[in-house]
Structure 1
């Protein structure tokens, strides 16, 4: 598939722009194994890059224009690099154009001195499924521009570029987890990220050796982080931290929840309790993977889903059904993944039971009158890279 998309995006570039790209770069989507809504609270997360990628074919121009096109839109967006701003771009083009703007905004590039570029985007990361198709676009474009503009910038800094693009150009108040996972992913490993220090370490997963697979159950219920519930949850977390007198919920321990319950209204308390206990679950998952391997993390995944469903209230009936059906058909653990309000669930499943879980989930969705989900396994994979 990678080879096919690599060749396809080159051909599409030639068709749209009439020239040959100088290279093709790619970046993966991600699955968050555990640690939801902890990233913007300066907490801990444990995502991994997946074997579904976004490809960017890029050509260098002899002027200062930047043009972006993609296979998922007929629009070719065009603007002068020097006219880029957070407000100058909209729609899907805000992701790649926002990266170019953010490279200048953060001082990594002199946008008045870099050459223009043409960019064609192709992807097999599902959109709206909670697998961070947005960060895959941002990261592929970021590594391409960093190379072509000869910028001295490391991967964590590129992640900050992607986050700024998403926060300001797109308008989604997300943390840095998605970009870090897409840029720092490694085969058969998760990326343990301290979102306060932005330090990241690879944690071996050992899924194949344990005979396990990660099954993604895409409910086909689409979500949008630039609107609604995500922003409300973030505001609740900030209000909870302020009421507790801390810089962020990272500074609240599980033992502090007794005091928090006395100080906070019920809704804010439950939002805080999710983040605080989820941080601890991430630490426990890393410790368990290191000491005992992936066969022992199932209950932590289950507990994470209960917390998101009951305390953070970001699940939907389709996600709950996916999780419950997987658990009842042999999954060691299951949880919704991503920002919530739709998207995907993941299940940790013995390889021999994957088909059984897929059939059971399809049947359960049909029985409840839900649209048919899309299910597929994902493999922890390498991060952003130049392809050709």
Structure 2
């Protein structure tokens, strides 16, 4: 929705959007002035970066937390995930240049021409590739693209495992959908567009869970058996009523230069599936995999076989976790979170990058968190692994001490206490 910038600023200052912001950020209306100030700041940033505009729209896309199913999505498996109350926000306004110009706070200006949306090999692993890919995907769906200026600000930590990249893709998708689509596409389609751009234009063979959790919102379980039409179901749960706080621990490690590590996981899983006569592991019954282990070891190597063992176990755990949450059986749920984390470390092997000795930040974070929890709650590697974050479910009565002790090790501000956000990508 486009409004004059002066109108937006007046409404934000007067609290006209307090109820809306309270819903997005899981707080009370009287706690929303800081969020309103963030939106006013992106309006200022838009005009500082690009000059005056007569009108603008405001948008948000949340980070996400993966709760169950670690590296199962790219094998057409099941996941359990939720959007969280940290996000990327943007102000967007038309320009007459037939260009999409995006200025992310703290980054270089990125500009693409809307009359040239073909994929470019030299653009892989760049923001421009994602923008070009998403614009092309919307163009194919009937979008009448025209010039647009976008200013973005984020409190989703980059490389944090809360998926700043998916939030960016969903944010761009929400903006393009709002501005250029006469018939709006669904949140699921926005997620699929982001994944397509990342796969085809950016050059990263990611799954779909991150984008889906950010775009759809709340806690959802997704079955990717039919990749083109994933089955998405809501899972109503309030961890606070169970006396649990959701924490994301920033290990301090960066994802930079780890693309090969991430790519190896789906590639090795697909190689095992191919030996067993399938395209992905979801195509292959577990018994067929077991019967073919000798051939898989010979053709794919032992690490690939162990990663397949992880997929089957974690994929089966997801519906059990969903059932436990729906029944209110949080003890069973926490036991499965722990089991998933153990499987990720032992079989999937996405805690320590191959050959790393001095730098094993994620492993140290898990070890310290388990120590301070003392057998309570649960801890697991979060997201893609190798770098980024660890997830912990912490009993509320232990939260203050847990946070203080973990930040003594990791640094101030590295223990993020989050809430599940009820809405995904949003137009303010």
TM-score normalised by the chain length of structure 2 = 0.82
For residues 82 and 226 of structure 1, the distance between their equivalents in structure 2, rounded to whole angstroms, comes to: 33
Distance in 1 between residues matched to 2:361 and 2:425, nearest whole Å: 32
Superposition RMSD in Å: 2.0
Alignment match of 1:16 (pick from 27, 49, 61)? 49
Q: 1:285 aligns with which of 294, 313, 321?
A: 321
| Corresponding residue to 1:149 among 150, 157, 180 | 180
Deviation string, structure 1 residues 153-182 (Cα, Å, up to 9, x no partner):
111111111101111222211011111101
Secondary structure of 1:297's match? helix
Moved more, 246-255 or 170-179: 246-255
Matching of residue 84 in structure 1 with residue 82 in structure 2: no
1:294 paired with 2:330, answer yes
Per-residue CA deviations over 1:239-270 (Å, capped at 9, x if unaligned) read: 00001112321134455553243332122210
C-alpha contact (below 8 Å) 1:325/1:361 kept by paired residues: yes
> CA shift at 1:63, angstroms?
4.1
TM-score between both structures, scaled by the size of structure 1: 0.90
- In structure 2, how many angstroms separate the alpha carbons of the residues matched to 1:254 and 1:225? 33
* Count of residue pairs the alignment pairs up: 374
> Within 5 Å, which residues of 2 pair with 1:334-373?
334-363=379-408, 365=409
State the shift of 1:373 in Å.
Answer: 7.5
Is contact 2:276–2:289 with CA below 8 Å preserved after alignment? no
Runs of 5+ in structure 1 lacking a partner? Answer: none
2:68 is the counterpart of 1:28:
no
More strand by share: 1
| Distance in 2 between residues matched to 1:29 and 1:37, nearest whole Å | 18
Task: Identify if the C-alpha distance between structure 1 residues 27 and 221 changes in structure 2 by more than 3 Å, giving closer, same or farther.
Answer: same
Task: State the Cα deviation string for residues 175-198 of structure 1 (Å, max 9, x = none).
Answer: 111111011112xxx110112331
Query: Which stretch shifts more, 130-139 or 290-299?
Result: 290-299
Q: 2:151 aligns with which of 98, 115, 120?
A: 120
Establish whether residue 377 from structure 1 lines up as the match of residue 412 from structure 2: no
Structure 2 residue 98 is the aligned partner of structure 1 residue 64: yes
Q: Secondary structure at the match of 1:143?
A: helix
The answer (yes or no) to whether the contact 1:25–1:55 under 8 Å persists in 2 is yes
Q: Secondary structure at the match of 1:83?
A: coil
8 A contact 1:5–1:123 mirrored in 2: no
Q: Mark the CA change 1:376 to 1:305 in structure 2 (over 3 Å): closer, same or farther.
A: same
Task: Name the structure 1 match of 2:138.
Answer: 103
The 8 Å contact of residues 170 and 226 in structure 1, kept in 2 or not, is answered as: no
**Contact 2:187/2:425, CA 8 A, preserved across alignment:** no
Distance 2:257 2:334 in 1: 28
**Offset, 1:386:** 0.7
Q: Which string of whole-angstrom CA distances, capped at 9 and with x for unpartnered residues, describes residues 283-312 of structure 1?
A: 211111112343431111111111111111
Which whole-Å CA distance do the structure 2 matches of 1:2 and 1:225 have between them? Answer: 34
Moved more, 242-251 or 79-88: 79-88
Residue 194 of structure 2 corresponds to 162
Question: Aligned equivalents of 2:117 and 2:52: distance in 1?
Answer: 24
SS in 2 for 1:280: helix
Whether contact under 8 Å (1:35, 1:281) holds in the other structure is yes
**Given that residues 139 and 182 in structure 1 are in contact (C-alpha distance below 8 angstroms), is that contact kept between their aligned partners in structure 2?**
yes
Per the alignment, do residues 155 and 362 of structure 1 end up closer, same or farther by CA in structure 2, a change over 3 Å counting?
Answer: closer
**Alignment match, 2:18:** none
The structure-2 alpha-carbon separation of the partners of 1:360 and 1:273, relative to structure 1 and needing over 3 Å to count, comes to: same
Task: Tell me if the contact between 2:276 and 2:288 (Cα under 8 Å) persists in the aligned partners.
Answer: no
